[in-house]
């Protein structure tokens, strides 16, 4: 990823380790938001809500909610790239860098969608796949996964998406 040359005083000034820390924090927050069951009155009566310590996500509309939010995030990100690329005050090098980053972003989105489509075709009822700079996660609608299934999924994602299996986290959701 290329660095943009912001006019003096407008850069974010974050060091690489700070960016990684913020990314990890963002992923943890997202997982916490979606992984913790809703404990309102209706879910207390719902027998499908179980102990959070099992590591399984219990939320009825998790996949639909996540997709709606992801589409909103993607739209916002695309708007940001377009505004940089179309900004008359940005120099040509910055516009070129933003354009290259935008192309990479679009390819990443397409790859996420394709992995989800392939895994649904393999029989998983619902799937979410996300690639970040140094982390990625896969969430499958299933009660649990065997170690063999986890290894197979990790190998597939590593081969197809080029994601390091060590940096892939696999979750299940009911």
**Is residue 153 within 8 Å of residue 145, measured between CB atoms?**
yes
pLDDT in tens, 65-83: 889 999 999 999 999 999 9
CA torsion, ordered 21, 26, 28, 32, to nearest 10 deg: 160
What is the model's pLDDT at position 173? Answer: 86
pLDDT in tens, 149-160: 999 999 999 999
Under the banding of pLDDT at 50, 70 and 90, the label for residue 59 is low
The mean pLDDT value of the chain amounts to 78
Average pLDDT estimate for 81-93: 90
What is the model's pLDDT at position 13? Answer: 55
Tokens standing for 12?
């974010």
According to DSSP, residue 169 is labeled: E
Domains defined for the chain, CATH in brackets: 16-173 (1.10.287.4300)
Tokens standing for 91?
């120099």
Tokens standing for 19?
């960016």
């Amino acid at each position: 990823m290329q660095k943009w040359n912001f006019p003096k005083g407008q850069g974010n000034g974050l060091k690489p380790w700070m960016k990684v820390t913020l990314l990890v924090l963002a992923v943890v927050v997202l997982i916490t938001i979606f992984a913790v069951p809703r404990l309102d009155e209706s879910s207390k009566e719902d027998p499908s809500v179980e102990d959070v310590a099992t590591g399984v996500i219990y939320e009825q509309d998790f996949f639909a909610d996540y997709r709606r939010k992801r589409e909103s995030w993607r739209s916002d990100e695309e708007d940001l790239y377009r505004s940089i690329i179309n900004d008359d005050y940005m120099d040509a090098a910055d516009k070129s860098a933003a354009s290259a980053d935008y192309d990479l972003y679009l390819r990443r989105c397409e790859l996420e969608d394709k992995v989800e489509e392939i895994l649904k075709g393999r029989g998983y009822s619902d799937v979410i796949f996300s690639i970040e700079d140094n982390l990625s996660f896969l969430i499958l609608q299933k009660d649990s996964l065997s170690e063999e299934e986890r290894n197979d999924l990790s190998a597939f994602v590593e081969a197809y998406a080029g994601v390091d299996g060590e940096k892939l986290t696999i979750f299940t959701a009911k």
